[in-house]
Structure 1
Amino acid sequence: MKQIELTQGMFALVDNDVFEELSRYKWYARKGGHTFYAMRSVYLGGGQANRKNKTVLMHRVIIGALKGQHVDHRNGDGLYNLRCNIRANFTISSMA
């Protein structure tokens, strides 16, 4: 287990095998509900007036979550990003 430094004097805990890849980026801590989450912004393009960014959550990156897939932390700590603490559910709605 290793620590990735975030903003606000916080850090996220991650598994050793993903540390190198994740530590290449600048991550920040942001409050979400009752906990903090590690996230970063990805530049999507556009000029200065039309700049487009996308927010990426660290725990979703770690497990390769799909769009629409619900992901949460078993212990409720959004900065405890070990795989054993991240769970994903995919609800498929049937169309009749």
Structure 2
Amino acid sequence: MKEIPLNNGQKAKVDDEDYEWLSKYRWYAYVDPGSGHTYAATDTPSGRRVYMHDVIMGLDSLEDELRN
């Protein structure tokens, strides 16, 4: 298990095999105003918010929009 730093001193814990490719992106702690839950997120150049858990589960992708 490894940690990816977010903003405000928060961290997202990820499996070792996911760490390398997830750490290529800048993640931040997003607090959903409706639920108050905090999620690891990143924004694409087009302004679309992408959640880390969706990327890990294969429900969303960053590869086409973000290239570092």
- Superposition TM-score, scaled by structure 2 size: 0.78
Give percent identity, aligned residues only.
Answer: 40
Q: Relative contact order: is structure 1 or structure 2 higher (C-alpha 8 Å, sep ≥ 6)? A: 1
Where is the strand percentage greater, Structure 1 or Structure 2?
1
Cα RMSD of the aligned pairs, angstroms, is 1.2
Q: Distance in 2 between matches of 1:30 and 1:8?
A: 11
- Superposition TM-score, scaled by structure 1 size: 0.57
- 5+ long unaligned stretches in structure 2: 61-68
- 5+ long unaligned stretches in structure 1: 45-52, 67-96
- One-letter amino acid matched to 1:5: P
Partner of 2:3: 3
Alignment size in residue pairs: 58
- One-letter amino acid matched to 1:11: K
Report the secondary structure of 1:64's partner residue.
Answer: coil
